[in-house]
């Protein structure tokens, strides 16, 4: 089968991690050239201010940003490993597309390819930086890096009454308060097959949050999980005007693992809090059973806190799953499902929330450049729930049995982390999003 260009490695915004391009290249494959993406703009990276310059007036915002996945978008080692492997497997056809959101200044300056960033300027290496975002003048909800920038003396932002500063001009732009601003990189479509691979924006658009005007910024640029407004404060150091609301720039999603690996424990904690505020569990259990009598128990998982599906983004490589453990009064395990095996893998037969894609022939693939259709989609839309059922065996003696259910998440599987970071690495952080237990009397 002819391989088309690998256009999607990870888009984090996440919220979000990297994709796995695992197949070797077929002999004799003829690959197309790079796919045009985003705006038809080219410019020198020197037109953009280094992020470090912004900290002199915006120290708090700078410190929030530098520990964000936006700042780590290009240097994240998982992305690095996957982007370079993808480049090798597609003869570089994916390089510009991946860089358009992971190193947008380098993309605009045509400093990528090569995918390894060896030609990147330092300002481009800082990922999605201050001056890139605050010089965006046009966006589109179509995604795939659909932004247009105008670097220069004017910086754009969400305040309609910006204060004067001798360092730059400031102008209000309504797009900074709109979800479409985030759609530019958080709506990922394979342009050759038309398959939507990362649909965070469209998930929000069709949810109950969009009519209420609860945007991405309301949840991901406020101090705590969910909409925690107002957040009074100062947009710059030493300015006289206190704003009724200021936006935080940590912009965390659910990527605990990569933030911990990068040494940003505070940001990782915020990501963990996000995950723990996203879902709720309910248990449906019989009150009593006779000895040896089995039962069909129900675990309901509700997406109660996220404005998008759980999980979201490129969910082929994330893991969210249910763990159910049934024990007797002595702690003996009578039944379990979804308990990690000795290699840290989620066992077959577990209830896993994700999508699986197939190539044009219908064969399952983890190579996103081949993705032509979705063959499995088990995710939970915003404000919706799913019911899962488990057949548990009976207990031999009278007493009580305990049923414990946990919803667990990690932003990349242990297997994928081992592949790209080496088998000697520590286990990928597993976050307990929700936990609930109940008892059944056996008599």
CB 103 within 8 A of CB 112: yes
Cβ contacts of 188 within 8 Å, gap of 6 or more: 8, 11, 143, 144, 196, 197, 198, 199, 314
CB 414 within 8 A of CB 348: no
Higher pLDDT, 342 or 29: 342
CB 189 within 8 A of CB 146: no
Single out the residue of 126, 134, 8, 133 nearest to residue 73, CA to CA.
126
Higher pLDDT, 367 or 266: 266
pLDDT classification of 77: cutoffs 50, 70, 90: confident
The partner residues of 138 in beta bridges, in order of sequence, read 148
| Alpha carbon distance 356, 189 (integer Å) | 15
Task: Quote the pLDDT of residue 26.
Answer: 38
pLDDT classification of 142: cutoffs 50, 70, 90: confident
Query: Which single residue is written with the structure tokens 């009598």?
Result: 293
Q: Mean pLDDT lowest for which of 38-42, 91-95, 294-298? A: 38-42
Over residues 373-408, the pLDDT tens digits come to: 999 999 999 999 999 999 999 999 999 999 999 999
Q: Mean pLDDT lowest for which of 176-180, 338-342, 417-421? A: 417-421
Single out the residue of 93, 94, 91 nearest to residue 18, CA to CA.
94
What average pLDDT does the segment 277-305 reach? Answer: 97
Predicted TM-score (pTM) of this structure: 0.89
* pLDDT value at 419 more than 90: no
Calculate the alpha carbon distances from 384 to 77, 90, 204 in Å.
34, 39, 13
Q: What are phi and psi of 76, to 5 degrees?
A: -50, 120
The two tokens of residue 113 are 């390819």
* DSSP label at residue 158: S
Over residues 126-137, the pLDDT tens digits come to: 999 999 999 999
| Alpha carbon distance 214, 68 (integer Å) | 22
* pLDDT value at 439 more than 90: yes
CB 69 within 8 A of CB 128: no
User: Which domains are seen in the chain, by residue range?
Assistant: 45-252 (no CATH), 274-442 (2.60.40.2550)
User: In whole numbers, what is the pLDDT of the chain averaged over residues?
Assistant: 88
């Amino acid at each position: 089968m002819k391989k088309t260009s690998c256009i999607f490695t990870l888009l984090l915004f996440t919220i979000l991690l990297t994709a796995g391009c695992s197949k070797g290249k077929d002999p004799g494959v003829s690959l197309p050239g790079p796919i045009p993406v985003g705006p038809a703009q080219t410019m020198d990276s020197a037109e953009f201010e280094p992020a470090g310059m912004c900290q002199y007036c915006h120290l708090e915002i700078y410190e929030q940003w530098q520990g964000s996945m936006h700042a780590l978008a290009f240097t994240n080692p998982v992305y690095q490993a996957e982007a370079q492997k993808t480049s090798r497997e597609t003869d570089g056809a994916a390089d510009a597309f991946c860089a358009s959101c992971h190193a947008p200044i380098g993309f605009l300056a045509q400093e990528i390819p090569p995918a390894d960033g060896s030609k990147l300027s330092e300002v481009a290496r800082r990922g999605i930086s201050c001056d890139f975002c605050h010089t965006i003048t046009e966006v589109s909800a179509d995604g795939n890096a659909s932004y247009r920038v105008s670097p220069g003396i004017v910086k754009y932002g969400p305040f309609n009454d910006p204060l004067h500063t001798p360092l730059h001009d400031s102008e209000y732009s309504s797009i900074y308060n709109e979800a479409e601003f985030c759609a530019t990189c958080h709506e990922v479509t394979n342009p050759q097959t038309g398959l939507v691979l990362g649909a965070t924006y469209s998930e929000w658009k069709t949810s109950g949050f969009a009519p209420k005007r609860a945007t991405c910024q309301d949840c991901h640029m406020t101090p705590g999980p969910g909409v925690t407004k107002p957040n009074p404060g100062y947009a710059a150091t030493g300015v006289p005007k206190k704003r009724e609301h200021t936006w935080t720039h940590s912009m965390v999603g659910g990527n605990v693992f990569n933030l911990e690996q990068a040494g940003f424990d505070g940001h990782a904690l915020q990501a963990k809090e996000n995950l723990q505020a996203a879902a709720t569990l309910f248990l449906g259990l019989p009150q009593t059973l006779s000895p040896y009598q089995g039962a069909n128990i129900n675990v309901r998982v509700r997406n109660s806190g996220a404005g998008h599906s759980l999980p979201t983004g490129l969910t082929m490589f994330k893991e969210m799953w249910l763990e159910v453990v049934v024990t007797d009064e002595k702690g003996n395990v009578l039944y379990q499902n979804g308990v990690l095996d000795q290699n840290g893998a989620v066992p077959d037969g577990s209830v896993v929330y994700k999508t699986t894609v197939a190539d044009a022939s219908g064969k399952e693939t983890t190579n996103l450049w081949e993705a032509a259709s979705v063959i499995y989609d088990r995710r939970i839309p915003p404000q919706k729930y799913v019911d899962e059922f488990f057949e548990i065996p009976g207990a031999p003696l009278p007493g009580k049995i305990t049923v414990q259910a946990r919803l667990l998440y990690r932003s990349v599987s242990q297997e994928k982390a081992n592949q790209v970071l080496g088998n000697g690495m520590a286990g990928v952080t597993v976050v307990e999003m929700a936990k609930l237990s109940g008892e059944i009397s056996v008599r």
